[in-house]
Amino acid sequence: MNKILTTLILVSLFIGSCRNIEKDSSPVRDYYLDNQLGNDKNPGTLRKPIKTISELNARLASQPGNIYFTAGQTFEGTLLLTGVKGNDSLPLLISSVGEGRATLDGGNCESIRIKSCENIRISNVDLRGSGRKDGNTANGLQMVDCDNCTIEKMEARGFQKSGVDLYNCRDMKVLSVTAIDNGFCGINLMGSSRDSSARILIKDCRAENNAGDPTRLDNHSGNGILAGVSGNVTIDHCTATNNGWDMPRQGNGPVGIWAWMSDHVTIQYCISYRNRTSKGGKDGGGFDLDGGVTSSIIQYCLSYENEGAGYGLFQYPGAAGWANNVIRYCVSINDALTTEGAGSFFIWNGSRESGQLTNCYIYNNVVYSESAPVISYEEASEHENFLFSNNIFIAGGERIAGRSTGSSFTGNAWSSVADPVLEGPFKTDLTDPYKLGTLSGYKLPSRSKLKDSGVQINEMYGFDTPEKDFFGSSLSEASIPDPGIHQTD
């Protein structure tokens, strides 16, 4: 008996024993695919697998079930699921079996398209398209109107739109997904309302070299991870790099990790670095809370060497009001390398109404910028109640560019690149979010004159002190805060 078949039998026995634990669960059909040993006239069992995705789709239309692709093989076509509802405790599974992963090659279309489904788990498969400029016109995985699904351990590559695209999906998890060499975006969330796209976790994901959609001539493309018109989204321990360099237009551009028209978005423990934009294009930044974002936070993140701003705070004309957002315990290193007018922090209000861009709290961050402004305000970007507090700003050039009316500054420490208040080293090539704590050069020296020189802003502005600093040390509400991302003992 060959090794692949032996592995399949062992896995099937294990899965069967697990299913017997769930006493009340009804029998679930299993489909096995093998494009070497399979035949589309077979029943699709472990010993007699079917061969093609087209035959699988025909069978799924009448009887949904778990799907197992033989690892190490490539299956051509688009897997289709509509109206399928798995069990809450045992979701329907789409996965590989054997050593490694199977690849689903969508060619010029999607690899997987799922609509109006619940309790689906997609795990341990890779998706391939023919390339964003070589014929593909779709997303890698597209899910529409789905609930309570998990996408994990996947690579999506070569799609003109997004590697993973979720529209009007709720209670979703996107875990350990790599989206690379796509066009519009690596991982894209979108809703018709903030309630229709909600409660979504994106964790341990990587978006790289998503360069731009060659057909999108009227708006930005080439983003890393993007949440639009969504509510209660968490983006955690993710990275974005080298996105946006081939956007086919000038004007507003891509960002590594960002949100727009969304509420209660948390971006934390992420690294967004060396993202780009097209020649003459805008943005190309690390992180961004864009038009209409409310009650959202960026914390414990690192941005470095992006062509645009490290942290963008933007409001575009026609968006709902932008308000009550926080950036804290974050680092920016030599951002705003080439984008005109940008700074490490970049404030822009295209609505020209100050009440449309209000209430932002930017505290306990560190900026190291050898040339670009530490804070930049686009011309006529009126805003209200922006607080910069307890930050450490190390500048080699202009400190503040543009008109800062509407911002206040308390408890910040300013120094120069020539005489920094931190010990460094300041530059980094860090790419692993789980190693953010190794940036020890950004800790405040224990004998620093800046110790206990911050202000207690939670008492002044009425929001809670976070539990810990950038390095994981506990923060006490009773203590006097230090400037920067590290609270000394």
DSSP 47-93: SS-B--HHHHHHHHTTS-EEEEEETT-EEES-EEEES-B--SSS-EE
Give, in order, the Cα–Cα distances in Å from 242 to each of 226, 250, 325, 410.
Answer: 15, 18, 27, 35
Percent of the chain at pLDDT above 70?
93
Sign of CA dihedral 14, 151, 113, 37: negative
Give, in order, the Cα–Cα distances in Å from 319 to each of 15, 25, 151, 295, 296.
Answer: 49, 47, 31, 15, 16
Residues sharing a CB contact under 8 Å with residue 169, sequence separation 6 or more, in sequence order: 143, 144, 145, 146, 147, 149, 189, 197, 200
User: What local confidence, expressed as pLDDT, does residue 345 receive?
Assistant: 98
C-alpha Rg value of the chain to the nearest Å: 24
User: What local confidence, expressed as pLDDT, does residue 439 receive?
Assistant: 98
User: What local confidence, expressed as pLDDT, does residue 459 receive?
Assistant: 62
Length of the chain: 489
Q: Is 365 within the bounds of a domain?
A: yes
User: What local confidence, expressed as pLDDT, does residue 446 receive?
Assistant: 86
Q: In terms of DSSP bridges, do strands 92-97 and 65-70 run parallel, antiparallel, or are they unpaired?
A: parallel
User: What local confidence, expressed as pLDDT, does residue 23 receive?
Assistant: 30
Q: Does the pLDDT at position 304 exceed 80?
A: yes
Q: DSSP 3-state assignment of 20?
A: helix
How confident is the model over 240-265, as a mean pLDDT? Answer: 97
Q: Does the pLDDT at position 460 exceed 70?
A: no
User: What local confidence, expressed as pLDDT, does residue 8 receive?
Assistant: 41
C-alpha of 485 from chain center: 22
Between 81 and 18, the higher pLDDT residue: 81
Residues sharing a CB contact under 8 Å with residue 476, sequence separation 6 or more, in sequence order: none
Q: Is 475 within the bounds of a domain?
A: no
User: What local confidence, expressed as pLDDT, does residue 164 receive?
Assistant: 99
Q: Is 154 within the bounds of a domain?
A: no
Round to whole Å and give the CA distance between 328 and 213: 33
Round to whole Å and give the CA distance between 413 and 393: 6
Element (H, E) at 288: strand 285-289
What is the pTM (predicted TM-score) of this model?
A: 0.94
Q: Is 13 within the bounds of a domain?
A: no
Phi, psi of 123 (to 5 degrees): -145, 135
Nearest to 69 by CA among 38, 40, 41, 92: 38
Residues sharing a CB contact under 8 Å with residue 21, sequence separation 6 or more, in sequence order: none
H helices of 232-277, in order, are none
Q: Is 177 within the bounds of a domain?
A: yes
Q: Does the pLDDT at position 15 exceed 70?
A: no
How confident is the model over 421-449, as a mean pLDDT? Answer: 96
Contact 483, 450 (CB under 8 A): yes
Counted domains in the chain: 1
Neighbours of 61 (CB within 10 A): 12
Round to whole Å and give the CA distance between 313 and 356: 12
Nearest to 201 by CA among 139, 264, 159, 123: 264
How confident is the model over 214-240, as a mean pLDDT? Answer: 98
How confident is the model over 53-81, as a mean pLDDT? Answer: 97
Percent of the chain at pLDDT above 90?
87
Give, in order, the Cα–Cα distances in Å from 47 to each of 9, 54, 245.
Answer: 8, 20, 48
DSSP 183-216: SSEEEEEE-SSTTTSEEEEEES-EEE-----TT-
What would the pLDDT profile of 329-359 be if each residue is shown by its tens digit? 999 999 999 999 999 999 999 998 999 999 9
DSSP 160-181: SSEEEEEES-EEEEEEEEEEES
What would the pLDDT profile of 362-408 be if each residue is shown by its tens digit? 999 999 999 999 999 998 899 999 999 999 999 999 999 999 999 99
Mean pLDDT, the chain, whole residue set: 93
Q: Which residues pair with 13 in a beta bridge?
A: none
- CATH assignment of the domain containing 282: 2.160.20
User: What local confidence, expressed as pLDDT, does residue 298 receive?
Assistant: 98
Q: Which domain holds residue 400?
A: 161-461
C-alpha of 93 from chain center: 24
Q: Is 379 within the bounds of a domain?
A: yes
How confident is the model over 109-129, as a mean pLDDT? Answer: 98
Query: Which segment of 67-81, 135-149, 214-228, 449-463 scores lowest on mean pLDDT?
Result: 449-463
Q: Is 359 within the bounds of a domain?
A: yes
User: What local confidence, expressed as pLDDT, does residue 22 receive?
Assistant: 31
Q: Does the pLDDT at position 477 exceed 70?
A: no
Neighbours of 94 (CB within 10 A): 23
Q: Is 124 within the bounds of a domain?
A: no
Q: DSSP 3-state assignment of 385?
A: strand
How far apart are the two ends of the chain, measured CA to CA in Å? 64
C-alpha of 164 from chain center: 11
Round to whole Å and give the CA distance between 136 and 247: 17
Phi, psi of 316 (to 5 degrees): -100, 155
